[in-house]
Structures are given as C-alpha cells and as structure tokens.
Amino acid sequence: MPVRHRAVVGAQDADDDASQLPGDVHRTRAADNEYESFRTLAGLTEDELRRVRLDRRALGDIDLRDWSGIWVGGGPFNYTDPDEKKSAVQRRVEADLSRLLDDVVGADFPFLGACYGVGALGRHQGAVLDRRYGEPVGTVRVTLTAAGRRDPVLGELPAEFDAFTGHKEAVSELPGHAVLLASSAGCPVQAFRVGAHVYATQFHPELDAAGLSTRVDVYKDAGYFDPSEANAIKALAWSSEISHPPEILRAFVRRYGRDRVGSAAG
C-alpha cells in the first residue's frame, strides 16, 4: 500500500534562506541531499515524505495517528558534545526529540533513527553513548545478528553487507530491553530495536555514492576527517558497490505504509 504521508524529523530543514550565513548554506545543502536520498531510495514522492528541520524551528506537537511512521536523520549536532558547548538550539533539539520519543516508544510506533537518530534513541533509552566507537567516513562490513536475520525489516538484507558510515559517536552498550540487530568489527552496535517497531541504525541506510560525496563536501571542515582526504574518500565511495542498506527504507515503507492524510507539521 503506498504511503500517503510519512514524517521524517531531523536536525535539518527544507527552507533555503537567502540571508543564511555560509555555514547555514552548507547545512541546507546537506539537508536537501539527505531528504532526497531518503525519499528516492525509499521510493516515495514529496507528498509521501514530509520533513521538519529542528535547527530552524521547534518540533511542536505531533499526533502519531496522523502518520505512518517517523524517520530521524542527521544534523550538525552530537549528543556527546560537552554540555557547556551546546547551544540553546542544540539543547532545544534534544528536548524536542526526547519528548517525541516518549510518545513513540510508549506507543511502540514505527520509527527509524539513523545518524543523529541512533544517538537520539540510544540516549532516550539509557544506552551508553560515547566516542569509543566513532567511525571514519567510509565503508564498513555489517553483520546481522540472529535477531537481525529474523527481523521483519532488517531480515530482508543479506547476513553480511557493506554500508557507508562516518560518525563521531556511537552506542557502545545497549540497555537490557533493547535488541541488537547488527554489528561490525569496529562498532559493536550497528543497529538495534526497542519493542517491535522502533529502530535505529549507526550506518547510513539512506546513502549512496552521490550522497556520501555531497556530505564529504559539506562536512570536510567539521572534524570527521582530514580535509586533504576528501577526494580519496569520494573516490572510495564511487568505487564501492554498496546497494543493500536502502532496502531497510523500502522494507519499512512496505511494512508500515498506509493511506492516510495527516495534519502534522511538515
């Protein structure tokens, strides 16, 4: 059944303001690229995938009954940034997502957090989130656990597959009630589930080579890698044959998509 409306909530926005500072323009480029990556790789139209950019405005009230599911993508923040260095906007974004996840987890509502979203769900659920297993920008071999192979969303992927990564922080230890779905040699928690329908991935299910190249250009001075390595990372992306991670998005849509017109903020 096609999805009529789906919320994707992240620390990014749809609006390109001519008065933005140069850093804001770069973030808008990343936001636009991420939205298009989620949308096209999931096979959705613009009417089927709405977005809210939390670094631009508060989330407000979200009535879960209006939506098929929620995706939280990336953004310019890290949960493990020192508290004294977090801006008022970053603290507000964290509070907005915490309130949203109160409702999502309480209702076991379909949810997928990727990149910043894995930190949001991990922190909300009491996981240990730190920088021990931060990953350089590049590719990694991901292995599904036995639970992952049985999972109705991730179980459609091969038992082992390659994915794009690139994060300063990661979940290093899950709470007892969470289900580990995937891991890698350099990062023990690559995907997990809470309840039956609330998911998060450390790797990027929304990235292809073009998308990663755009992120490299946008974030080359943000401390994820040596700027001199940008061209080599992009060449690695284009030479890779990564195709399986977006199957997660399509499986999510098939499982949770429903015909419903929503009234939540977009």
> For residue 172, what is the domain's CATH number?
3.40.50.880
pLDDT tens, 224-253?
Answer: 777 887 788 788 778 788 889 999 999 999
Q: How many domains does the chain have?
A: 1
17 within a domain of the structure (yes/no): yes
Residue 264 included in any domain: no
pTM: 0.85
What is the 3-state secondary structure of the chain? CCCCCCEEEEECCCCCCCCCCHHHHHHHHHHHHHHHHHHHHHCCCCCCCEEEECCCCCCCCCCHHHCCCEEECCCCCCCCCCHHHCCHHHHHHHHHHHHHHHHHHHHCCCEEEECHHHHHHHHHCCCEEECCCCEEEEEEEEEECHHHHHCCCHHHCCCEEEEEEEECCEEEECCCCCEEEEEECCEEEEEEEECCCEEEECCECCCCHHHHHHHHHHHCCCCCCCHHHHHHHHHHHHHCCCCCCCHHHHHHHHHHCCCCCCCCCC
How far from the centroid of its chain's Cα atoms is residue 245's Cα?
Answer: 12
Task: Write down the pLDDT at residue 166.
Answer: 84
Q: Would residue 180 count as lying in a domain?
A: yes
* Domain assignment of residue 173, yes or no: yes
Residue 263 has what pLDDT? 36
Residue 2 forms part of a structural domain: no
Contact 119, 169 (CB under 8 A): yes
212 vs 26, higher pLDDT: 212
Per-residue confidence at 31, pLDDT binned at 50, 70, 90?
A: confident
Q: Which residue range is the domain that position 156 belongs to?
A: 7-256
pLDDT at 222: 67
265 located within any domain: no
Task: Using the predicted structure, report yes or no on whether residue 8 has a pLDDT greater than 80.
Answer: no
Q: Within a domain: residue 43?
A: yes
How does residue 2 score in pLDDT terms, banded at 50, 70 and 90? very low
Q: Which residues contact 228 (CB under 8 A, 6 or more apart)?
A: none
Give pLDDT tens digits for 56-67. 889 999 999 999
Residue pair 129/171 in contact by the 8 Å Cβ criterion: yes
Q: What is the maximal distance between C-alpha atoms in the chain?
A: 51
Picking from 234, 252, 242, the residue whose alpha carbon sits closest to that of residue 71 is 252
Classify residue 121: in a domain, yes or no.
yes
